[in-house]
A and B are shown apart, each in its own frame.
Chain A
Amino acid sequence: MRLDEITRSVDTLPAMGGAALRVLALIEDAQASAARIEKALREDPGVTANLLRLANSAYFGIPSRIGSLRQAVSLLGLRRVTQMVVAACAAAVLQRPVEGYDLPAGELWRHSLAVSVAAEGLVRELGIGAGEEIFTAALLHDVGKIVLGRFVSEEMARIEAALGRGLTFEEAETAALGVDHAAVGADLLARWALPADIVYAVRWHHDPDRAPASHPMLDVVHVANVLCRMIGIGLGREGLQTEPSETVTRRLGVGTGHLERVASRTLQWANELAQALAA
């Protein structure tokens, strides 16, 4: 088992950047204001620039040009802007190529954005509530792959053997490495002090049936992730070797028609958002 080595690797991974941590601390703060976000980002002009590029993406539906953080907050609201700060900070990490999973540069980022878009699409399509931070939970669901990729690559022979026995890819990760990318990602996000429901959704996104309790945010991320891989966004080495939970689809009341409608809208938005921060 490579568990100790993987844990050490999580320890040494640099945090997302001070700006993200300062703004994340504001997510659950009722007193958060545009002024406080501005202060948190003052020393990070790059993050603000990326945030504005995202805010001007058609996905967020503001027809006029947003030129400042204050304007973004007044047009999109504090919560949306906070989500964009997290996205702007996470981009640098998620845009890298991921070995082991065979994801070229930019593909994990595009997949992450697609799952965010699909998750919000499902929430609207089904008319359910899934927590206001569903965008961020979906965006960060695969962050553990950044740590685990190297180990997956090194242990591919054992993973392939486990896949040959009919295991899902994440079960194969656990069989070969003692841990899967969902657990590693949740560990990482807990250290970065993300809100508990986001960490929970990331932790169980491949295995909602084993989660201690059901949570709509977890259910939606679980379904959105499988859907985005089905339409070819972030497939990589894993392919569709994952098993969607029937308990979750029943609980959500989601049908094939819902999935197809959401899929038809997801690809273009994901590509546009990915291009907003493309180098």
Chain B
Amino acid sequence: MNLTVMVGDMKTGAAGDTIVTHALGSCLGLVVYDPVLKIGGLLHAMLPLSSINPEKAQANPAMFVDTGVPLLFRALYEQGALKSRLQVKAAGCGAPMGRNEVFKIGERNYTVLKKLLWKNNILLAAEDVGGSQSRTLHFDLATGEVVVASNGTRKPL
């Protein structure tokens, strides 16, 4: 099945599925994969901390990095994934050009992700973060392969 993850959304799948998410700007795109069970999931989180809008976080935890990341890992653990096997990759967290500090939402998304992973002893296997280009992620659940497409170029993550 071809699954599409919208902004503030999370989906899991298994071999035979592909998961796509479009238009990553400052948002975090997080891919988690268990290569033995060939299951995985993709999160497209918009903002770093749920405390900015607790009501939204309750209705839609995938909107925030601090609630969305645990949501994705829990969903995979419930399907039998083992932490020791998980491959975790991150993309997005971009920023507009220039040095305006007010617009550093992408950097904040990345920082909150790194803190969460660090606290849980999880390392990023790969990342393609920062910059000003829009990114699309293609995640093939049969192989665990992730491709980042940006303005006509495609490269594996």
Contact B25 A254 (CB under 8 A): no
> CB of A7 within 8 A of chain B?
no
> CB of B111 within 8 A of chain A?
no
Taken together as a complex, chains A and B put the C-alpha atoms of A244 and B102 apart, in Å, by 9
> CB of B134 within 8 A of chain A?
yes
Taken together as a complex, chains A and B put the C-alpha atoms of A263 and B103 apart, in Å, by 12
- Which residues in chain B, 120-152, are within 8 Å of chain A measured between CB atoms? 132-134, 150-151
Q: Using an 8 Å CB-CB cutoff, how does the interface string of B2-32 with A read, 1 for contact, 0 for none?
A: 0000011000000000000011111100000
Q: Using an 8 Å CB-CB cutoff, how does the interface string of A238-259 with B read, 1 for contact, 0 for none?
A: 1111111110010000111101
Taken together as a complex, chains A and B put the C-alpha atoms of A255 and B94 apart, in Å, by 18
A239: chain B residues within 8 A (beta carbon): 25, 94, 132-134, 150-151
Interface residue SS majority, chain B: loop
Contact B133 A231 (CB under 8 A): no
Contact A230 B98 (CB under 8 A): no
> CB of A265 within 8 A of chain B?
yes
Identify which of A227, A229, A235 gathers the most chain B CB atoms within 10 Å of its CB: A235
Identify which of B22, B133, B134 gathers the most chain A CB atoms within 10 Å of its CB: B134
Contact A235 B102 (CB under 8 A): no
> Using a Cβ–Cβ cut-off of 8 Å, how many residues does chain A contribute to the interface with B?
32
Contact B26 A236 (CB under 8 A): no
Point out the residue from A168, A238, A240, A259 that lies within 8 Å of B102, measured CB to CB.
A259
For chains A and B in complex, what number of residue pairs have CB atoms within 8 angstroms? 109
Q: Using an 8 Å CB-CB cutoff, how does the interface string of B42-72 with A read, 1 for contact, 0 for none?
A: 0010111100110010000001000000000
B26: chain A residues within 8 A (beta carbon): 230-231, 240
Contact B25 A243 (CB under 8 A): no
B99: chain A residues within 8 A (beta carbon): 246
Contact A242 B102 (CB under 8 A): no
> Using a Cβ–Cβ cut-off of 8 Å, how many residues does chain B contribute to the interface with A?
36
Taken together as a complex, chains A and B put the C-alpha atoms of A261 and B63 apart, in Å, by 12
Asked if A261 meets B97 with Cβ closer than 8 Å, knowing A226-B103, A239-B151, A244-B103, the reply is no
Considering only CB atoms, which chain A residue lies closest to B55 in the complex? Answer: A264
Point out the residue from A227, A232, A264 that lies within 8 Å of B24, measured CB to CB.
A232
Q: In the complex, what's the smallest C-beta–C-beta distance from A120 to chain B, in angstroms?
A: 17
Considering only CB atoms, which chain B residue lies closest to A160 in the complex? Answer: B151
Contact A240 B100 (CB under 8 A): no
Contact A231 B46 (CB under 8 A): yes
Considering only CB atoms, which chain A residue lies closest to B52 in the complex? Answer: A260
Contact B133 A243 (CB under 8 A): no
Taken together as a complex, chains A and B put the C-alpha atoms of A264 and B24 apart, in Å, by 16
B151: chain A residues within 8 A (beta carbon): 237, 239
Q: In the complex, what's the smallest C-beta–C-beta distance from B92 to chain A, in angstroms?
A: 9
Q: Which residues of B contact A (CB under 8 A)?
A: 7-8, 22-27, 44, 46-49, 52-53, 56, 63, 94-106, 108, 132-134, 150-151
Q: List 16 A-B contacts (CB under 8 A).
A: A229-B96, A230-B105, A231-B26, A236-B134, A239-B94, A239-B151, A240-B132, A243-B96, A246-B99, A256-B102, A256-B104, A256-B105, A257-B52, A259-B103, A264-B52, A267-B8
* 4 further interface pairs, Cβ-Cβ under 8 Å (given A240-B26, A264-B53): A233-B23, A235-B25, A239-B134, A240-B97
